[in-house]
């Protein structure tokens, strides 16, 4: 199991500053969501090589997956994101699904999504990059988002049928949406490429809310998971201090 920090952990600082902090704090990667906001991808790639850690996940442009009329735009965004990932050495692309369309049956929207992802899959497979669908909660943060439940996410992944289309399981979102976190985080392990963590309520660092991250991460680790867990949260104290606490109070106790 490896750990990543997310851009914004140090407000106002750029990706190079974050990469240097990732290295100094003993994490293994950075998540930078909007690659198109980077000034110079090659400059970032050089900084990664110098520092010794890199961007492990980014996003594709936020284009609806459930709107068939936007399929071409979505696939174009995937193609451009893959090229950016090649420059950066990034192996994962996070995708949201967009909001549910009014007046269109959910099963039709799901079929649209699956077909678009099937068309994206050969591009991802050729580049050996994994696309990660992210269920988001609709109660607090993303009202109307189409994909919210982990079981439906797993169903979509199975229908696409590609080893390069999986899920990112965000524990914060799934605690709000469905609870039952350990059971779902482990039951769908083979459809999950990556985890995000934050406490609830508040979406702050682990230890500030109701979630027992020692038990959650221990259960995930026991499945044999060797990928990334991203600390995607706000911080109620100094970021360096919060990460050190996370090392001491969580990582050191999961074995």
What topology is assigned to 2-253 in CATH? TIM Barrel (3.20.20)
Q: Where are the beta strands (DSSP E) in 149-234?
A: 165-170, 192-197, 228-231
Q: pLDDT band at 255, cuts 50/70/90?
A: confident
Mean pLDDT of the chain: 98
Average pLDDT over residues 161-189: 98
- DSSP H helix total and E strand total for the chain: 9, 8
Query: d(Cα 246, Cα 250) in Å, to the nearest integer?
Result: 5
Q: Do the Cβ atoms of 63 and 77 come closer than 8 Å?
A: yes
Average pLDDT over residues 63-72: 98
Query: d(Cα 90, Cα 84) in Å, to the nearest integer?
Result: 8
Q: What SS3 state is found at 145?
A: strand
pLDDT digits (tens, 9 = 90+) for 115-155: 999 999 999 999 999 999 999 999 999 999 999 999 999 99
Closest of 96, 168, 93, 159 to residue 128, by C-alpha = 93
Query: d(Cα 61, Cα 33) in Å, to the nearest integer?
Result: 9
Angle (CA) 167 169 171, round 5°: 170
Domain limits of the chain?
Answer: 2-253
Quick one: tokens of 205?
A: 């660092």
Phi, psi of 241 (to 5 degrees): -65, -40
Tell whether the model's pLDDT for residue 39 goes beyond 90.
yes
Active site residues: 134, 232
Query: d(Cα 179, Cα 173) in Å, to the nearest integer?
Result: 9
Tell whether the model's pLDDT for residue 80 goes beyond 90.
yes
This prediction has a pTM of 0.97
Q: Supply the DSSP symbol for 61.
A: -
């Amino acid at each position: 199991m490896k750990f990543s920090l997310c851009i914004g952990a140090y407000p106002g600082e750029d990706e190079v500053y974050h990469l240097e902090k990732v290295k100094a704090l003993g994490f293994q990667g950075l998540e930078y969501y909007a690659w198109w906001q980077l000034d110079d991808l090659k400059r970032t790639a050089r900084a990664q090589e110098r520092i010794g850690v890199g961007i492990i996940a980014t996003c594709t442009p936020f284009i609806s997956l459930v709107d068939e009329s936007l399929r071409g735009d979505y696939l174009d965004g995937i193609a451009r994101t893959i090229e950016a990932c090649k420059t950066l050495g990034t192996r994962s692309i996070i995708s949201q699904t967009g909001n549910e369309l009014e007046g269109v049956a959910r099963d039709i929207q799901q079929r649209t999504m699956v077909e678009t992802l099937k068309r994206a899959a050969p591009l991802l497979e050729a580049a050996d990059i994994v696309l990660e669908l992210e269920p988001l909660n609709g109660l607090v943060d993303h009202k109307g988002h189409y994909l919210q439940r982990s079981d439906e996410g797993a169903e979509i992944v199975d229908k696409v049928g590609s080893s390069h289309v999986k899920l990112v399981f965000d524990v914060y979102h799934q605690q709000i949406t469905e609870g039952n976190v350990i059971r779902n985080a482990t039951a769908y392990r083979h459809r999950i490429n990556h985890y995000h963590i934050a406490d609830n309520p508040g979406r702050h660092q682990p230890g500030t809310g109701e979630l027992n991250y020692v038990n959650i991460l221990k259960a995930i680790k026991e499945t044999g998971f060797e990928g990334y867990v991203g600390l995607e949260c706000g911080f109620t104290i100094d970021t360096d201090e919060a990460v050190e606490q996370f090392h001491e109070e969580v990582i050191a106790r999961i074995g």
